[in-house]
A and B are shown apart, each in its own frame.
Chain A
Amino acid sequence: MRKNRTRWFTAGLAALLALTALSVNQIAAQAVIRVAEFPADCQLSHRLPDDPIVLPGLAGASHSHDFFGNHATNANSDYTQLAGATGNCNPAVDISSYWVPTLYRNNQPVQPSIITFYYLGEGVNNPTAIRPTPVGLKIVAGNAKATGDADSIARWSCLHAGQVPPSKNFVNCPSGTQLETYLDFPQCWNGTSLDSSDHKSHMAYPVAGNCPSSHPVPVPKLRMVIRYPVSGDPSVLRLSSGDGRTFHGDFFNVWPAAEMERRVRDCINVVVKCGADGRPLP
């Protein structure tokens, strides 16, 4: 009888311990933030009138661009040249090249203050199908030739001033806040070409949460978020490509394949918000 009681007690204790362990695991599982995301925080590297995607090999032939990340980007950049250079992003392993038109205030170039590139699982219904962005992929977003709101996907708003409605053109940010812009890149790849003659047609935006059959491979959605330390009257602002609606961005993927793969597996496919190191945020 006594032996039996001991046995029951032992079994009960084991069950209790197992339950405790389970709940600890559940808490750990719940603690992750259920957003498919990993970031790269970068700095302005340099300015050049160059564009290695749109005007390859033609140094000095472009309007002015602000280059972020890879230090070596110029008109003659190719994957090999960029892969042998370093960058200024956190994480340091991201030596990709990112660029946007230069912003001018009263004809003086403005240095962006906060530059974040988010890689996101949103936009497609099935995040488990998202594949790592292929090494060397070039993507452009936005319309540098936009002439109105209808042909622009630009979005301008104010950091710390959510009451100012976002607009496709520059907005008037209250004093003490910063002007910010968001740009979402197409995330459906045709699966075969790293670039195309118009630099757009190898990529597409999803339709109703699915990549079109012509562009069947979903990759993480790149979202550029750039903050500028300017506020007030937007009539003194211009981009090197025109007004705010002409904001556009270019991306040349130089992430090491293993680093991109790990982040897609551990952050995007499983819908977990990660830090710059590609580890889940607590």
Chain B
Amino acid sequence: MLLTLCACGQQGPAAPRDPAPAVASHLDATARAFVELTIATDDQAVKLLDLGAGRASSPGMRAFAESLAATRRAELREAHAILDPIPYVNYHEGHDMPGMPTDPELTTLSAAPDFDAYFAQLLRAHLTESTTVARAGATSIKDERARALASTMLTERGESLHELDRLAPGA
């Protein structure tokens, strides 16, 4: 007992090693995780789509990429608004999360000999995998606004996949 007390005295006021901001969440755990993952994924998707809008040789693909980049930016604004006032922390940085174009993939794309084909491949992966995530969110989220975002994303991913099929069949 004495030893314990002495050790406490030496150590001074104890501080937790990882003092994370304790903002009470207005969102259910699924909604919050979904929104944070959507932001992390869309930040990477915007990089992919901006590359496509600038570099694709097919005018149709360039226009599609530009339009989808605008959709992702709007999605990001809505996701941040849902999260507010919880500060956004990227828990998924550097990870190969489903639907997330990674930095190494984007670097490879920049130097790809057949830009359009690899772009279509990465875009398809983004759309297909984020469909899975959006479907889970649309089913499990309790917060209405976050669930509505997931439902909108689910519909949009489906439509975008159809458009991609039309522009780059077989990619």
Q: Residues of A with Cβ closer than 8 Å to B?
A: 49, 54-63, 75-76, 125-126, 144-145, 147, 196-198, 200-201, 204-205, 207-215, 240-242, 246
Q: Tell me the bound Cα distance from A211 to B22 in angstroms.
A: 20
Residues of chain B within 8 A of A205, CB atoms compared: 17
Residues of chain A within 8 A of B20, CB atoms compared: 196-198, 200-201
Q: Tell me the bound Cα distance from A205 to B16 in angstroms.
A: 8
Residues of chain A within 8 A of B141, CB atoms compared: 57
Q: Which positions 7-51 of chain B face chain A at CB distance < 8 Å?
A: 7-8, 10-11, 13-20, 22-23, 25, 29-30, 32-34, 37
Interface centre among A61, A62, A75, A76 (most CB of B within 10 A): A61
Among candidates B23, B29, B97, residue contacting A57 with C-beta atoms closer than 8 Å? B29
| Cβ–Cβ contact A215 & B7, under 8 A | no
B137 within 8 A of A: yes
Shortest distance between the CB of B3 and any CB in chain A (Å): 7
Selected interface stretch from B73-81, B87-95, B119-127 = B87-95
Interface centre among A57, A62, A198, A207 (most CB of B within 10 A): A57
A-B contact pairs, 19 of them (CB 8 A): A58-B37, A58-B136, A58-B140, A59-B136, A60-B129, A60-B132, A62-B98, A125-B7, A144-B91, A145-B91, A197-B22, A200-B20, A201-B16, A204-B16, A207-B14, A208-B11, A209-B7, A213-B13, A215-B16
Residue in chain B with minimal CB distance to A51: B33
Q: Which positions 55-100 of chain B face chain A at CB distance < 8 Å?
A: 86, 89, 91-98
Interface centre among B7, B29, B37, B93 (most CB of A within 10 A): B29
Shortest distance between the CB of B47 and any CB in chain A (Å): 18
B107 within 8 A of A: no
Residues of chain B within 8 A of A147, CB atoms compared: 94
Q: Residues of B with Cβ closer than 8 Å to A?
A: 3-4, 7-8, 10-11, 13-20, 22-23, 25, 29-30, 32-34, 37, 86, 89, 91-98, 129, 132-133, 136-137, 139-141
Residues of chain B within 8 A of A246, CB atoms compared: 94
Among candidates B8, B14, B32, B95, residue contacting A242 with C-beta atoms closer than 8 Å? B95
Among candidates A57, A211, A241, residue contacting B95 with C-beta atoms closer than 8 Å? A241
| Cβ–Cβ contact A55 & B132, under 8 A | no
Residues of chain A within 8 A of B93, CB atoms compared: 145
Shortest distance between the CB of B77 and any CB in chain A (Å): 21
| Cβ–Cβ contact A200 & B18, under 8 A | yes
The 10 closest A-B pairs by CB, nearest first: A212-B14, A57-B140, A57-B30, A60-B132, A201-B20, A61-B133, A198-B20, A58-B136, A59-B136, A204-B16
| Cβ–Cβ contact B17 & A204, under 8 A | yes
Q: Tell me the bound Cα distance from A240 to B93 in angstroms.
A: 13
Among candidates B23, B97, B133, residue contacting A197 with C-beta atoms closer than 8 Å? B23
| Cβ–Cβ contact B97 & A61, under 8 A | yes
Evaluate whether A201 and B22 lie within 8 angstroms (CB atoms) in the complex, with A57-B140, A210-B8, A215-B16 already known: yes
| Cβ–Cβ contact A210 & B18, under 8 A | no
Q: Tell me the bound Cα distance from A145 to B92 in angstroms.
A: 7
Q: Tell me the bound Cα distance from A213 to B14 in angstroms.
A: 6
| Cβ–Cβ contact A61 & B98, under 8 A | yes
| Cβ–Cβ contact A210 & B11, under 8 A | yes
Evaluate whether A60 and B4 lie within 8 angstroms (CB atoms) in the complex, with A55-B37, A147-B94, A207-B17 already known: no
